[in-house]
Amino acid sequence: MKSNLLSPLQKANLYLKLFGMFKVPLIWYCRPKIIHLDNDKVEVLIPLKRRNKNHLNSLYFGVLAIGADVAGGFMAMSKSQMRGERISLAFKAVQADFLKRPEADVVFTCQDGRLIDEMLDQTIATGQRVNQAVTITATCPTLHGDEPMAVFQLTLSIKKTLRK
């Protein structure tokens, strides 16, 4: 009988940590943690720490962008890996509305799993780059429940890549 040592969520967090360490050190520096991942939704937590807060004791603007990036990009990478496909992923545009100061740990939620599935279907079928806006909402559940602190629209750009 074969048993898995790590749960899917633990594997996702290990992958995220290694990706941050070796590919994008600013991600690693912010210490994001995936707290929920399913076919439709991903939730990423970034704790408010001395290293990532600003002079107003709220999460720094750049860290908010990193959280949105991770939430929007991780789902696409995860879904492509589950399909056994390699993709090139980038963000081409960003629009953000900062509504309140996030003065506690922040959860970044992307619920665009179905849209990302459609994007993957299209790029796998055509080999062409596909661009679509995904929505990421940042909340501070411990202070404000589900009230948004910021809302991001990131234009996700993916393209199937050839195996080497």
CATH number assigned to the domain comprising residue 21: 3.10.129.10
What's the pLDDT score for residue 56?
Answer: 94
Residues 81-115: b if buried by 16+ CB within 10 A, e if exposed: eeeeeebeeebeeeebeeeeebbbbbbbbbbbbeb
**The total number of structural domains that make up the chain:** 1
Residue 95 located in a structural domain: yes
Cα dihedral sign for 102, 99, 77, 89?
negative
Residue 143 located in a structural domain: yes
pTM higher than 0.75: yes
Residue 3 located in a structural domain: no
Residue 89 located in a structural domain: yes
Domain boundaries, position 153: 8-160
Residue 137 located in a structural domain: yes
Residue 46 located in a structural domain: yes
Residue 1 located in a structural domain: no
What does R_g of the chain's alpha carbons equal in angstroms?
A: 16
Residues 26, 17: Cα–Cα separation, whole Å:
11
Residue 2 located in a structural domain: no
Residue 129: Cβ within 10 Å count:
16
Per-residue pLDDT of the chain (164 residues; tens, 9 = 90+): 455 789 989 999 999 999 999 999 999 999 999 999 999 999 999 999 999 999 999 999 999 999 999 999 999 999 999 999 999 999 999 999 999 999 999 999 999 999 999 999 999 999 999 999 999 999 999 999 999 999 999 999 999 997 65
